[in-house]
A and B are shown apart, each in its own frame.
Chain A
């Protein structure tokens, strides 16, 4: 994998992670734990950015360090009393049964083609515009991209129906 140097996250990562790692080390944690919590926090940061809900009181770095610390304390169960940052569900595991069921469905979907999943991610998760999506995926325009989006959603729905019927 080549590194995207124009990706602003890389720069933020480079300048923030060592500070967070030091913080975790002082609290008795490992590098692996630091990385996991840091990724949880980055995911929250990115998701909030995409939905326009990111309200920074200070620098992105300070936000990230604060959020990552809460995530880390939470995984350590030391922070049960801490109120979690909004959007924290990005970092919380589902109950195991639901998780297993959803993972199975996702595996089936990935086998039947990733292009639809990528298109749906671009629209529903990354909140890209239909024009942008049309360009990226090679559609004539936003109208055909929109039609394709719903066809993909229909395909996912169908896959769910088939897999769930087999499971019963």
Chain B
């Protein structure tokens, strides 16, 4: 793998607390001295938040789809109607 991809993999391990204690300490020492690396770590942290945001939106969309489809089932729709009207 390209060395910059290896770096991404290592940042992932750091963010998900998968580094050993010693590796973690070494990585944090690098972070203190290397601003560019620290910036990459922050961008990657945000990238993971965005992936989660995207994923949840997709899942919510899927649930909306299931809801709409179930409303087309007469028995299901009727049940809801009797509850709310």
Contacts and interface: CB of A to CB of B under 8 A. Distances in A.
Contact of A42 (B12, B46, B63, B70): B63
Contact of A90 (B51, B56, B84): B56
Size category, A interface: 35 or more
Give the interface SS of chain A, mostly helix, strand, loop or mixed: helix
Size category, B interface: 35 or more
Interface of A: 1, 3, 7, 9-10, 13-14, 17-18, 21-22, 25, 30-31, 35, 39, 42-43, 46, 90, 102-103, 105-106, 109-110, 117, 120-121, 124-126, 146-147, 150-151, 153-154, 156-157, 160-161
Given A9-B66, A124-B55, A157-B44, 16 more contacts: A3-B65, A3-B69, A9-B63, A13-B66, A18-B83, A43-B56, A43-B60, A109-B54, A117-B54, A121-B58, A126-B55, A157-B8, A157-B43, A160-B46, A160-B47, A161-B43
